[in-house]
Amino acid sequence: MVATQRCLLFLAIFFVAFLSGGVCTEFTKGSTTQLSYYQQILPILRARCHGCHQPAKSGGNYEMTQFNHLLAGGESEATAVVPGHPDQSRLLQLITPNGDVAEMPRGRPALSVAKVALIRQWIAEGAMNDTPESVQPSWDAEHPPLYAAAPVITTLDYSPDGKILAVSGYHEVLLHKSDGSGLVGRLVGMSERIQSAVFSPDGTRLAVAGGSPGRLGELQVWNVVTETLQFSSSVTYDTIYGASWSADNRYIAFGCSDNTVRVVEAKTGKQVLFNGAHNDWVLDTTFSIQGDHVISVSRDRSMKLVELSTARFVDNITSITPGALQGGLQAVECHPTRDELLVGGADGVAKIFRTYRVKARQIGDDHNLIQAFPALPGRIYDVAYSSDGKRIVAGSSSHGTGVVRVFGAEDGQRLAQMEEIVTGVYAVAFNPDGNTIASAGFDGQVYLHESATGRLLNKFVPVPITP
């Protein structure tokens, strides 16, 4: 009875407040709601503008990720945004199309009429910034991230000459001497989460796939020598994964959480392939030896083959038999000299498949499978070939611990297990010299092991820790 009376009293108070305008004022006659910069304008700028106008690459000396810089403008010295005066705002002049063409984004399709109208309305309403302080950008090359503890490491890659090891951080990729003796560079960008960092075959550039979860997917391409951003491309509204280079350095493939595989030109970022054959997130990619096909693996448990020139889906390389695949696939890498594919995933079993089918498919077959290695405990997160293709390494995680093992690629025999790893492993890499294996994961440390014996050579925290 008492509970019922309390409920009725609350409803009465709410009803009186509603009528008096104290609650739900948006329903009051004549009220208006201003546009939200954070929810309505910023997503447009992220997708269409920030790639060329950010701290790491400020085209026209115009940096748009910091709100005060967005308003101020760039080298033209004209004010970009004049609150309350859209017709005096240089930004609006640049993005308003004349026919189908606008001055900005340069070389890309113009913003839609609806999006330009939205930006115009926001400026007319006073160009207010309602971005929560907790998500405002605060890092750039002059102000790199500060770390109180080592972050989880999701990706590692050696430069082709074996001298540099790229390691993921927060909002950055850190470049270390390959023996762990020193930090030589920091590539600080927009993406807070780095999922993949891969050197180009010629070693001059680094492709970085990542993003800000639920807000932005981003592909970055860095000049490693000058530590400058060549280009940044915003892709989808969530993190992207599994970047890979074609052998001729011309193309970069990556996977997306919208279930698509995409390929872009490595010099410009122009998209040349879009394929939606997968039914779940695409987590890794690689190119065929000739570079004419793209291979992708996904949480949907399949590995797919797509022709680059036509974007045509060619084949499911893995079995399509119901129940044959035990969980999603996480990682894929092409053999250095043959069209064979090393994969790993949720079942903990690294496998080698032939890229191209030599027998007609039949339900129940798995004819493309060449080799299945002894299972690792837990889920395999990464795999890699040695540079001569004679060995493979796989890293796994299970209940907070990890395992890294080396196998013979031809006979499947276990050759070594890396010692003293006490954490889940999310990334592995063979040094091109074949003598060292790098691995890393949940505890934020990089482990360097002798590949032949598994002996620990060094371990280090790749980020500078602030006391």
The answer to whether 252 touches 245, Cβ cutoff 8 Å, is yes
Distance (Å, whole) CA 349 – CA 340: 16
The answer to whether 335 touches 343, Cβ cutoff 8 Å, is no
* Residue 31: per-residue pLDDT: 40
* Band of pLDDT at residue 29, cut at 50, 70 and 90: very low
State pLDDT tens for residues 140-193.
778 899 999 999 999 999 999 999 999 999 999 999 999 999 999 999 998 999
State the average pLDDT for the chain.
89
Q: When comparing pLDDT for 134 and 15, which is higher?
A: 134
Distance (Å, whole) CA 68 – CA 65: 9
State pLDDT tens for residues 245-296.
999 999 999 999 999 999 999 999 999 999 999 999 999 999 999 999 999 9
Q: When comparing pLDDT for 462 and 72, which is higher?
A: 462
CA 169 to chain centre: 12
* Residue 75: per-residue pLDDT: 81
* Band of pLDDT at residue 65, cut at 50, 70 and 90: confident
* Band of pLDDT at residue 127, cut at 50, 70 and 90: confident
The answer to whether 15 touches 185, Cβ cutoff 8 Å, is no
With a pLDDT cut of 90, the percent of the chain lying above it is 64
* Residue 202: per-residue pLDDT: 98
State pLDDT tens for residues 208-254.
999 989 888 999 999 999 999 999 988 988 999 999 999 999 999 99
Is residue 23 scored above 80 in pLDDT? no
Distance (Å, whole) CA 188 – CA 186: 6
Other beta carbons within 10 angstroms of residue 214's beta carbon come to 9
Q: In terms of Cα–Cα distance, which of 409, 274, 392 is closest to 331?
A: 392
Distance (Å, whole) CA 348 – CA 189: 33
* Band of pLDDT at residue 358, cut at 50, 70 and 90: confident
Distance (Å, whole) CA 120 – CA 94: 12
Is residue 456 scored above 60 in pLDDT? yes
* DSSP code for 41: I
In order of 47, 123, 237, 412, the CA distances from 129 in angstroms are 18, 11, 21, 59
* Residue 15: per-residue pLDDT: 39
Q: In terms of Cα–Cα distance, which of 162, 227, 247, 158 is closest to 199?
A: 158
* DSSP code for 466: P
* Residue 56: per-residue pLDDT: 67
Q: In terms of Cα–Cα distance, which of 254, 253, 240 is closest to 292?
A: 253
CA 155 to chain centre: 10
Q: Which residue has the tokens 């907070």?
A: 400
Letter for the amino acid at 254? Answer: F
Enumerate the domain spans of the chain.
37-132, 156-460
Distance (Å, whole) CA 332 – CA 82: 50
Report the SS3 class of residue 95.
helix
What stretch of H or E contains 68?
helix 67-72
Q: In terms of Cα–Cα distance, which of 423, 348, 416 is closest to 378?
A: 348
| Lowest pLDDT segment from 91-105, 396-410, 444-458 | 91-105
What stretch of H or E contains 16?
helix 2-20
* Band of pLDDT at residue 364, cut at 50, 70 and 90: low
Put simply, whether the predicted model's pTM sits higher than 0.85 gets the answer: no
Q: When comparing pLDDT for 397 and 30, which is higher?
A: 397
Within 171-314, residue ranges assigned H as helices are none
Distance (Å, whole) CA 228 – CA 230: 6
* Residue 183: per-residue pLDDT: 98
Joined tokens for residue 288:
């065929």
- CATH superfamily for 156-460 is YVTN repeat-like/Quinoprotein amine dehydrogenase (2.130.10.10)
